[in-house]
Amino acid sequence: MSYETLLIERDGPVLSITVNRPKALNALSAMVLGELSRALDAAAADREVRALVVTGAGDRAFVAGADISELATLTPQTARAFALSGQRVFATLETLGKPSIAAINGFALGGGCELAMACTLRLASETATLGQPEIDLGLLPGFGGTQRLPRLVGRSRALDLLLSGRRIGAEEAARIGLVNRVVAPDALLNEARTLAATLAAKPATAIRYILEAVHGGADLPFEAASQLEANVFGLVASTGDMKEGTRAFLEKRKPRFNAE
């Protein structure tokens, strides 16, 4: 499969997806979203892909936002369709059943911040800048930012960022829970790929059910979410990986999980 705006690299079970529009600071155009959708569908169907790394080309930007030249031409009808299109792509990433690591190298603004939030975990370069500055364009986030940001950092902090449009550095982003780790710029991609490889070595079924329990239970009442947890706990208990993991623990050896 060939792409004009993405670079796709494979290293064993880890798939790296790089938005490759450095001259445009990797802005999310309609073409990028379409190609990202295809790449994610292919990753979902490939059983040998166990984890993903998502990043941007160059050292200036992860993704600096949506393509403003396209936004400027939107009508109410096309704007709604554009938002729904981006939401579908990011929901696919979030619910892929395989962990994804955002390697945030530079600007992650607007749609770029939304893309990072749709990933399972976020690693940020010390020089990264994050934010949702759509308010300064007379807009609001359309790819899930008004929903994922409060879930990650809390409603009050999310409203501060959404209403002011202010940008924050990596350290503040880590302090409020928007990113998981801050690393040196020259170590970012290697650390993201190392983390992805670590997750790829874990039991794939247990990973998938953990993600399902967390995402599926987030909007349920606690009792219903606990039932979901019990259901997937029961399902994962039927796997060979569970039997191998518990047996290896009792036998004081390293488990040999089955690659799925």
119 and 194, same domain (yes or no): yes
pLDDT of residue 66: 85
In a domain, 183, yes or no: yes
Catalytic residue among 114, 229, 251, 260: 114
The mean pLDDT value for 7-30 works out to: 96
Alpha-carbon distance of 255 to 241, in angstroms, equals 9
Q: Tell me if residue 172 is catalytic.
A: no
163 and 50, same domain (yes or no): yes
Q: What is the C-alpha end-to-end distance of the chain, expressed in Å?
A: 23
pLDDT of residue 76: 94
From the list 173, 186, 201, the residue with the least C-alpha distance to 99 is 201
pLDDT of residue 1: 74
The mean pLDDT value for 19-35 works out to: 95
pLDDT of residue 165: 97
> Is the pLDDT confidence value at 164 over 70?
yes
In a domain, 256, yes or no: no
143 and 238, same domain (yes or no): no
Q: CATH no. for residue 154?
A: 3.90.226.10
171 and 42, same domain (yes or no): yes
pLDDT of residue 158: 98
59 and 154, same domain (yes or no): yes
Prediction pTM value: 0.95
193 and 216, same domain (yes or no): no
97 and 220, same domain (yes or no): no
Tokens of 49: 């892909």
The mean pLDDT value for 223-236 works out to: 95
Q: Tell me if residue 114 is catalytic.
A: yes
Phi-psi region of 138 (alpha: psi -120 to 50; beta: other; left: phi over 0): left
Count of the separate structural domains present in the chain: 2
Percent of the chain with pLDDT over 70: 99
Q: How confident is the model over 96-144, as pLDDT tens digits?
A: 999 999 999 999 999 999 999 999 999 999 999 999 999 999 999 999 9
pLDDT of residue 260: 52
Strand partners, 53: 16, 101
DSSP character at residue 134: G
DSSP character at residue 257: P
φ and ψ at 124, to 5 degrees?
-120, 140
Helix-then-strand count for the chain, H and E: 11, 10
pLDDT of residue 182: 98
Per-residue CA distances from 123 to 18, 78, 145, 148, 251 (Å): 15, 33, 18, 17, 36
236 and 144, same domain (yes or no): no
Catalytic residue among 94, 134, 172, 244: 134
pLDDT of residue 120: 98
In a domain, 177, yes or no: yes
195 and 229, same domain (yes or no): no
Average pLDDT score, the chain: 95
Task: Give the structural domain span for 127.
Answer: 6-200
What residues contact residue 196 under an 8 Å CB cut-off, 6+ apart?
14, 51, 52, 53, 99, 101
119 and 161, same domain (yes or no): yes
54 and 86, same domain (yes or no): yes
Q: How confident is the model over 54-74, as pLDDT tens digits?
A: 999 999 999 998 888 888 899
Indicate the pLDDT class of residue 259, thresholds 50, 70 and 90.
low
Alpha-carbon distance of 127 to 135, in angstroms, equals 23
